[in-house]
Structure 1
Amino acid sequence: MFTQRVRPLVAVGFAVAALAFASPSMAIEPVAEPAPSYEDLIARLDALPSTLEAVAVYDAAAARAEQARALPNPSIAYDRENVYGTGPYSGVGNAETTLTINQPLELFGQRSARIQAARSEANVADLRREQARWLVAGRLALAYAQAEAGARRHDLATEALSLTEQDARGVAAMVEQGREAPLRDIQARSEVESARAAVDEAKALRDGAFARLSAIAMLDRPVQAIGASLLDRALGQPGAGDDDPLAVQVAEAELDTASRLVTVEQRRARPDVTAAVGMRRYRETDDEAFTVGIELTVPLFDRNRGGIRAAYAEQRAAEARLIAQKQAVQAERLGAEAALAASNSRTRAADSGVAAAEEAYRLSRIGFEAGRISQLELRSTRTALIASRNAAVDARIARVLAEIDLARLEGRAPFGESK
Structure 2
Amino acid sequence: MMNGQFRRRRAFALAGTLLALPSAGTAWSQTAPPFAQLLNQTRDAPHVAILEADVARARGIAGQARARPNPSISLYAENFVGDLTGNARDQQQTTLQIDQPFELGGKRSARIAAGEAGIAAATARSRHGRLVYATELAQAYARVEIADRRIGLAEDEVEEATADLKVARALVGAGKEARLRQVHAETELNTLEAELETAHAQQTAALARLSALAGVSTAFTGIAESLLDRLDARTVTGPIDPMQTTIVRVAEAEREAVARAVTVQQRLATPNVVGQFGVRQLRAASGPAIVAGFSVPLPLFDRNRGNIAAAQADLQGAEARAAAARLDAEAGTRAALALVQAADRRATAADRAMRTANEGYRLARIAYEAGKAPLIELLAARHNLGAARGVILDAAIARLDARAGLARLQGLTITGEPVQ
Q: Same fold (TM over 0.5)?
A: yes
Q: Secondary structure at the match of 1:280?
A: strand
The match for 1:23 is 6
- The one-letter amino acid of 2:305's match is R
SS in structure 1 at match of 2:101: strand
**SS of aligned partner of 2:75:** strand
Note the aligned Cα RMSD (angstroms): 2.4
Shift of 1:333: 2.2
Q: 2:344, 2:107 → 1: CA distance?
A: 57
> What is the Cα deviation at residue 21 of structure 1?
6.2
Q: Which residue of 1 aligns with 2:236?
A: 237
For residue 22 of structure 1, report the CA deviation from its aligned partner.
7.0
Deviation at 1:239, TM superposition (A): 5.5
Partner amino acid for 2:134? A
Paired position in structure 1 for 2:68:
71
Change (3 A) 1:21 1:408: closer
Contact 1:83 1:89 in 2 (8 A): no
CA 1:112–1:89 in 2, change beyond 3 Å: closer, same or farther?
Answer: farther
Conserved 8 A contact 2:8-2:149: no
**Percent of aligned pairs sharing the same letter:** 38
TM-fit CA distance, 1:220: 4.8
Q: Distance in 2 between matches of 1:414 and 1:89?
A: 91
Q: Is the 8 A contact 1:104 1:275 kept in 2?
A: yes
What is the SS of the residue equivalent to 2:281?
strand
How far the C-alpha of 1:112 sits from its partner, in A, is 0.8
Q: Counterparts of 1:69 and 1:123 in 2: how far apart (Å)? A: 17
Contact 2:65 2:111 in 1 (8 A): yes
- Give the superposition deviation at 1:157: 0.6
Deviates more, 1:313-322 or 1:176-185: 176-185
* 89 and 110 in structure 1: CA distance in 2 versus 1, 3 angstrom threshold: farther
| 1:264 CA displacement | 1.0
Gaps of 5+ in 2: 16-26
Deviation at 1:67, TM superposition (A): 1.3
Deviation at 1:26, TM superposition (A): 9.2
Residue 89 of structure 1 contacts residue 95 of structure 1 at CA under 8 Å; is this kept in 2?
no
Measured after TM superposition, the shift of residue 368 of structure 1 is 2.7
Answer yes or no: is 1:62 the counterpart of 2:59.
yes
Q: Which residue number corresponds to residue 343 of structure 1?
A: 343
The answer on 1:207 being equivalent to 2:204 is yes
Look up the match of 1:218: 215
Aligned length: 400
The 8 Å contact of residues 277 and 292 in structure 1, kept in 2 or not, is answered as yes
SS of residue matched to 1:44: helix
Is 1:128–2:128 an aligned residue pair? Answer: no
In structure 2, the partner of 1:12 is none
Distance across 2 between alignment mates of 1:180 and 1:46: 63
SS of the residue aligned with 2:313?
A: helix
Instruction: Mark the CA change 1:146 to 1:375 in structure 2 (over 3 Å): closer, same or farther.
Output: same
- The residue correspondences of 1:108-257 to structure 2 (distance < 5 A) are 108-234=105-231, 235-238=234-237, 240=239, 242=241, 244-257=244-257
Q: 3-state DSSP class of the match of 1:390? A: helix
1:26/1:68 Cα in 2 relative to 1: closer, same or farther (>3 Å)? closer
Q: Which residue of 1 aligns with 2:88?
A: 90
Shift of 1:55: 0.4
Q: Which moved more, 1:285-294 or 1:133-142?
A: 285-294
The answer on whether the counterparts of 1:171 and 1:185 sit within 8 Å (CA) in structure 2 is: yes
Is the Cα–Cα contact under 8 Å of residues 98 and 280 in structure 1 kept in the other structure? yes
- Give, as a single letter, the amino acid of the residue that structure 2 aligns with 1:149: I
SS in structure 2 of the partner of residue 231 of structure 1:
helix
Asked if the contact 1:160–1:195 (Cα under 8 Å) also holds between the matched residues in 2, the reply is yes
Q: TM-score, normalised by structure 1?
A: 0.88
Does the 8 A contact of 2:42 with 2:215 survive in 1?
Answer: no
Could you tell me which residue of structure 2 aligns to residue 13 of structure 1? none
1:47: how far off?
Answer: 1.4
In structure 1, the residue matched to 2:280 is 280
Deviates more, 1:295-304 or 1:210-219: 210-219
CA offsets 1:46-105 (integer angstroms, 9 cap, x no match) = 1110110110121111011011101111111222345445655522x2333322221110
Aligned to 1:399: 399
2:32 match: 35
Instruction: Tell me how far apart the structure 2 counterparts of residues 197 and 25 of structure 1 sit (CA, whole Å).
Output: 21
Q: CA deviation at 1:365?
A: 2.4
- Partner residue, 1:324: 324
Is the Cα–Cα contact under 8 Å of residues 232 and 396 in structure 1 kept in the other structure? no
* SS state at 1:163 partner: helix
Q: Distance in 2 between matches of 1:386 and 1:329?
A: 39
User: 1:219 Cα deviation (Å)?
Assistant: 2.8
User: 1:11 aligns to what?
Assistant: none
In the superposition, relative to structure 1, how do residues 288 and 221 fare at CA in structure 2: closer, same or farther (>3 Å)? closer
**Aligned ranges 1:6-21 → 2 under 5 Å:** 18=1, 20=3
Distance 1:26 1:160, change over 3 A: farther
My pick for the range that moved more, 347-356 or 360-369, is 360-369
- Give, in whole Å, the separation in 2 of the partners of 1:125 and 1:145: 30
**Distance in 1 separating the partners of 2:299 and 2:61:** 28
Question: Which residue in 2 is equivalent to 1:9?
Answer: none
8 A Cα contact 2:8 2:148, kept in partner: no
TM superposition score normalised by structure 2: 0.88
Counterpart position of 1:294: 294
Structure 2 counterpart of 1:377: 377
Q: Assess if the C-alpha contact under 8 Å between 1:99 and 1:280 holds in 2.
A: yes
How far apart are 1:290 and its partner, in Å?
2.5
